[in-house]
């Protein structure tokens, strides 16, 4: 009986692991496109986010709107193919954390008393996606994985040549 349970559990692990990279690809494609669209929208009409930032008391609102728009737009473009995914997750995560603490501070304060308010904030799903990409990486179906594979192969060839 124990071996049957072990086989079943190992099968679940195998299935879960085989779905990891496709799931990360879907996540990157969807949220990369969302970041791109959001950033592009800000850059196409900088005055709207600048006015919003000014209403929140954010210093240099026009400059901040351009910075946020560029980070979202180009960060999204990097997430799509999975290039520098963990690296771009850092400024995107910072941007979204600042968005929470400036535009949605009431929702942050309600994180334990009313968690539904926190998780329904506009920034939540964006931040959640960024945390997943940062934590698990972009997956095997990404440019990061191809670059890593190429570097490892090059290092192995160099090591083999040095041994001769």
Residue pLDDT, tens place only, 129-158? 999 999 999 999 999 999 999 999 988 888
Tens-digit pLDDT profile for residues 53-112: 999 999 999 999 999 999 999 999 999 999 999 999 999 999 999 999 999 999 999 999
pLDDT at 93: 97
Burial of 159 (0-12, 13-18, 19+ CB in 10 A): exposed
């Amino acid at each position: 009986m124990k071996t049957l349970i072990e086989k079943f559990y190992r099968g679940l692990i195998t299935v879960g692991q085989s779905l990891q990279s496709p799931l990360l690809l879907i996540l990157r494609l969807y949220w990369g496109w969302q970041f791109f669209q959001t950033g592009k929208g800000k850059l196409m009409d900088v005055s709207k986010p600048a006015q919003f930032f000014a209403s929140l008391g954010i210093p240099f609102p026009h400059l901040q709107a351009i910075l946020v728009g560029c980070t979202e737009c180009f960060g999204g473009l990097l997430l799509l193919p999975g290039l520098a995914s963990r690296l771009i997750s850092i400024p995107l995560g910072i941007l979204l954390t600042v968005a929470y603490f400036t535009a949605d501070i009431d929702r942050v304060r309600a994180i334990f008393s009313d968690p539904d308010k926190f998780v329904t904030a506009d920034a939540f799903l964006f931040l959640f996606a960024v945390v997943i990409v940062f934590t698990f990486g972009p997956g095997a179906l990404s440019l990061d994985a191809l670059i890593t594979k190429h570097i490892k192969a090059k290092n192995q060839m160099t090591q083999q040549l040095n041994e001769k």
